[in-house]
């Protein structure tokens, strides 16, 4: 689901900023039925509350920190509390390190077809005129000229449209999230950094989808800006309270509210994205985490990767690790 990929992009992917977004929260606009569904889903989610966890097994220790890849001034207080854990770690594992970021940037520069349509029909030819008008207006609202958006790969434009217009100034300013604060702190303390996956993992995951799937995701990524913003506000507050399962389920409700998207299609897109962007990656990360060390290890990843039946905490528990939540203050 692009709603999970976009509206929770701060919990999944690096680089986005949303501190400029404010206003009412979607949590305050839920119907009684939506509130009940949200509460039930959260209650059923393993390890659904908490940002900081410790896993121990056979004398080894791994600390897991759920990050948000978007800028927010509240990150400073979190960093202050995890600074001793960074200093004590043999290494810090992240989704990407500066090396992977550099490799990704070089690949986009040298192989623009990774994100740009260089051959064949462009987006105005792949969707009907009314849909392209909506997409071009949404792109323009995010400071992307429609003539440029027309040549984006559908999945790449989906990511762009998943960012509310109110977030674009911070994004353009290069403000970063908690994972980059942890990265800089580790570098300052001389703690080695290691990536959990190859730099091109996300490209590979998106390439695995068909063009029809990408177009379907794109069409509904251009949801109403007010819905995106209110969802972001609710998700930000939920994150800093450690209510990660609630954040994820709120994005699901926002998906169901997207105009023109029927429930069956929404469920299919949600399942597809959960498998590709969370579950596959979690399973691939588990052996990397278990092989790290031998001393204490800090794993800092998007918070959406931690909870749930296929989350990292459940996978570690099933592998024999003892899981305990560590306290954090706001």
Mean residue pLDDT of the chain comes to 87
How does pLDDT run across 252-277, given as a tens digit for each residue? 898 888 877 788 888 887 888 788 88
Q: What is the pLDDT of residue 10?
A: 39
pLDDT at 11 over 70: no
H or E element that contains 55: strand 52-57
d(C-alpha 68, C-alpha 17), whole Å: 10
Q: What is the pLDDT of residue 143?
A: 85
Q: What is the mean pLDDT of residues 74-90?
A: 95
Q: What is the pLDDT of residue 16?
A: 35
Kindly state whether residue 91 falls inside one of the protein's structural domains. Answer: yes
Kindly state whether residue 234 falls inside one of the protein's structural domains. Answer: yes
Q: Strand 91-94 to strand 297-302: parallel, antiparallel, or no bridges (unpaired)?
A: parallel
H or E element that contains 52: strand 52-57
Kindly state whether residue 256 falls inside one of the protein's structural domains. Answer: yes
Give the closest residue to 160 by CA, choosing from 207, 210, 228. Answer: 228
Q: What is the mean pLDDT of residues 75-103?
A: 95
Percent of the chain residues topping a pLDDT of 90: 55
Domain count, the chain: 1
H or E element that contains 299: strand 297-302
Could you tell me which residue, 313 or 226, shows the higher pLDDT?
313
Tokens 């949404």 appear where? 138
Kindly state whether residue 204 falls inside one of the protein's structural domains. Answer: yes
d(C-alpha 43, C-alpha 64), whole Å: 21
Kindly state whether residue 120 falls inside one of the protein's structural domains. Answer: yes
Contact partners, residue 42, CB within 8 Å, separation at least 6: 48, 243, 245, 246, 249
Q: Give this prediction's pTM.
A: 0.88
Conformational region of residue 143, where left means phi above 0, alpha means psi within -120 to 50, and beta covers everything else: left
DSSP character at residue 143: T
Give the strands of the sheet with 297-302, arranged side by side. Answer: 193-195, 91-94, 297-302, 60-67, 52-57, 322-325
Q: What is the pLDDT of residue 55?
A: 98
Could you tell me which residue, 119 or 219, shows the higher pLDDT?
119
Q: What is the mean pLDDT of residues 75-95?
A: 96
Q: What is the pLDDT of residue 6?
A: 39
pLDDT at 12 over 50: no
Asked if 104 contacts 200 with a C-beta cutoff of 8 angstroms, the reply is yes
Q: What is the mean pLDDT of residues 232-240?
A: 88
Kindly state whether residue 194 falls inside one of the protein's structural domains. Answer: yes
43-52, 71-80, 98-107, 163-172 — most confident range = 43-52
Among 63-77, 163-177, 242-256, the least confident range: 163-177
Domain that holds residue 77: 2-325
Asked if 19 contacts 71 with a C-beta cutoff of 8 angstroms, the reply is yes
Q: What is the pLDDT of residue 175?
A: 76
Q: What is the pLDDT of residue 174?
A: 76
Runs of H (alpha helix) within the chain: 2, 9-12, 32-43, 75-88, 98-110, 123-126, 129-141, 146-149, 154-161, 168-172, 178-189, 201-207, 211-221, 225-240, 244-256, 263-273, 280-291, 312-318
d(C-alpha 254, C-alpha 229), whole Å: 11
d(C-alpha 33, C-alpha 40), whole Å: 11
Kindly state whether residue 8 falls inside one of the protein's structural domains. Answer: yes
| Separation of first and last alpha carbons in the chain | 30
Kindly state whether residue 330 falls inside one of the protein's structural domains. Answer: no
Q: What is the pLDDT of residue 52?
A: 98
How does pLDDT run across 113-161, given as a tens digit for each residue? 988 999 999 999 999 898 898 899 889 988 899 999 999 998 888 888 8
pLDDT at 4 over 50: no
Q: What is the pLDDT of residue 20?
A: 53
Q: Using alpha carbons, list the distances in angstroms from residue 130 to 219, 227, 264.
A: 11, 21, 23
- Which tokens is 175 given? 């403000």
d(C-alpha 286, C-alpha 271), whole Å: 21
Asked if 149 contacts 135 with a C-beta cutoff of 8 angstroms, the reply is yes
Asked if 265 contacts 200 with a C-beta cutoff of 8 angstroms, the reply is no
Among 43-52, 224-233, 307-316, the least confident range: 224-233
């Amino acid at each position: 689901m692009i709603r999970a990929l976009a509206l929770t992009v701060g919990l999944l992917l690096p680089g986005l900023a949303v501190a400029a977004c404010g206003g009412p929260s979607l949590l305050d606009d839920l119907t009684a039925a939506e509130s009940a569904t949200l509460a039930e889903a959260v209650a059923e989610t393993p390890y659904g509350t908490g940002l900081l966890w410790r896993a121990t097994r056979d004398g080894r220790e791994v600390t897991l920190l759920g990050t948000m890849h978007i800028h927010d001034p509240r990150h400073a207080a979190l960093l202050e509390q995890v600074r001793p854990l960074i200093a004590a770690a043999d290494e810090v594992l992240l989704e990407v390190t500066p090396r992977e970021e550099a490799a990704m940037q070089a690949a986009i520069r040298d192989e623009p077809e990774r994100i740009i349509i260089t051959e064949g029909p462009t987006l105005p030819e792949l969707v009907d005129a009314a849909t392209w008008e909506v997409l071009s207006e949404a792109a323009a609202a995010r400071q992307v000229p429609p003539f440029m958006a027309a040549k984006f790969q559908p999945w790449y434009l989906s990511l762009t449209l998943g960012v509310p217009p109110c977030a674009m100034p911070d994004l353009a300013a290069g403000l970063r999230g908690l994972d980059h604060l942890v990265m800089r702190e580790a570098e300052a303390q001389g703690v080695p950094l290691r990536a959990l996956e190859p730099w091109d993992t996300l490209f590979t995951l998106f390439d695995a989808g068909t063009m029809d799937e990408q177009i379907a995701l794109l069409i509904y990524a251009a949801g109403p800006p007010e819905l995106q913003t209110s969802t972001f506000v609710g998700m930000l507050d939920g994150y800093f309270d450690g209510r990660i399962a609630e954040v994820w389920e709120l994005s699901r409700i926002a998906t169901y509210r997207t105009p023109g998207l029927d429930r069956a299609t929404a469920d299919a897109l949600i399942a597809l994205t959960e498998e590709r962007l969370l579950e596959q990656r979690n399973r691939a990360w588990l052996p990397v985490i278990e092989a790290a060390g031998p001393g204490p290890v800090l794993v800092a990843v998007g918070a959406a990767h931690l909870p749930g039946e296929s989350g990292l905490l459940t996978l570690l528990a099933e592998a024999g690790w003892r899981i305990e939540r560590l306290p954090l203050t706001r």
